[in-house]
């Protein structure tokens, strides 16, 4: 029977972000594929523990309870796992009572090519090649860290935190900071304060979240708590904050909380905000945050082959860059 997902917010996740599969990955890395599959089969009835994205998916699926009979979110597992090993994944889904019924196990092949058929605006994985490729294809994607210890999630509210430049916005201004320094960056942002920033990889996803927030029928509060709360956590500060506010205003998007930190550490702010996920493009910000809250790094897209560079397929490395977002 055909199932229409065109009007749903579809989140694609790898099995290794939904569940904590570090032990299983170690078996695969040290003993090989055959031993790994055998281990998964032998432990099919032993449910996996919660992974970094578990609480996020749980909170997103809870949005489906806001209005009786109307589904808002669909979660799909897209995994490079062997199909035989995938049975343990689906058994774990059932054990944890997650409303996930759709999955694809590609037997080691990259999964980004399947994002478009599933109509996916967000892909979460621990495979960096897959994440970079997904971004290069135009999807929002995050490379997740290990789950934080003793993280307590909000039960009745989905909370998401974003960095600004190279995440919600493009890296246009950020490049000025990198190449010309802080003074030129501030000068550029002051001169262009009322000019909206170009969209970054997570702008379409933020628009979908904002649409759900603005939908009067789906904004019914649970226990008087708004069902979704968003935050912008950026290293920008005055006067570069104005362009951010004008940009979001031009997009017609409201973000509930904004933190213009100007170099202050993000991890302590995030510890208090307690998002189900935080997206940042820099290791220097995302990794410290990952010790407190579920976090994902948004790497640069994989460069596509061109006529001028037919034999090279390079990966951009942003981990050593310190910039203003």
Nearest-CA neighbor of 226 among 63, 57, 73? Answer: 63
Tracing tokens 């920008």 back to the chain, one arrives at 236
103 bridge partner residues: 77
Return the structure tokens found at 218.
């789906």
Q: Cα separation of 28 and 34, whole Å?
A: 8
For the question of residue 215 being annotated catalytic, the response is: no
Whether the CA torsion 124, 125, 130, 132 is positive or negative: it is positive
Cα angle 155, 201, 319; round to 5: 90
**Catalytic residue chosen out of the listed positions 163, 165, 171, 281:** 163
Bridge partners (DSSP) listed for residue 19 = 50
* SS3 at position 158: strand
Please give the Cα distance from 157 to 58 (Å, whole number).
Answer: 11
Q: Strand, coil or helix: what is 187?
A: helix
Catalytically active residues are: 163
């Amino acid at each position: 029977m055909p199932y229409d997902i065109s009007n749903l917010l579809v989140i694609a996740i790898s099995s290794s972000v939904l569940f904590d599969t570090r032990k299983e990955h170690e078996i695969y890395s040290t003993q090989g594929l055959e031993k790994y599959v055998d281990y998964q089969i032998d432990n099919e009835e032993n449910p996996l523990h919660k992974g970094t994205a578990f609480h996020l998916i749980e909170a997103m699926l809870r949005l489906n309870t806001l209005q009786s009979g109307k589904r808002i979110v669909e979660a799909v597992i897209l995994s490079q796992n062997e199909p035989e090993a995938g049975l343990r994944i689906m058994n774990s889904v059932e054990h944890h009572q997650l409303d996930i019924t759709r999955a694809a196990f590609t037997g080691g092949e990259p999964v980004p090519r399947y994002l478009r058929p599933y109509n996916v605006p967000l892909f979460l994985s621990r495979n960096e090649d897959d994440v970079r490729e997904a971004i290069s294809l135009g999807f929002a994607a995050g490379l997740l860290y290990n789950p934080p210890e003793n993280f307590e999630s909000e039960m009745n509210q989905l909370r998401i935190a974003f960095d600004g430049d190279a995440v919600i916005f493009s890296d246009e201004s950020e490049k000025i900071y990198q190449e010309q320094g802080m003074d030129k960056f501030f000068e550029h942002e002051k001169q262009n304060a009322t000019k909206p920033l170009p969209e970054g990889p997570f702008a379409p996803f933020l628009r979908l979240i904002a649409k759900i927030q603005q939908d009067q029928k789906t904004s019914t509060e649970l226990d008087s708590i708004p069902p979704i709360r968003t935050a912008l956590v950026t290293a920008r500060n005055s006067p570069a904050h104005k362009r951010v506010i004008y940009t979001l205003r031009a997009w017609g998007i409201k973000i509930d909380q904004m933190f213009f930190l100007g170099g202050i550490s993000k991890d302590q702010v995030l510890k208090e905000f307690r998002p189900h996920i935080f997206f940042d493009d820099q290791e220097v910000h995302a990794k410290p945050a990952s010790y407190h809250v579920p976090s994902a790094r948004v790497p640069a897209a994989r460069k596509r082959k061109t006529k001028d560079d037919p034999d090279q397929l390079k990966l951009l490395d942003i981990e050593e860059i310190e910039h203003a977002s």
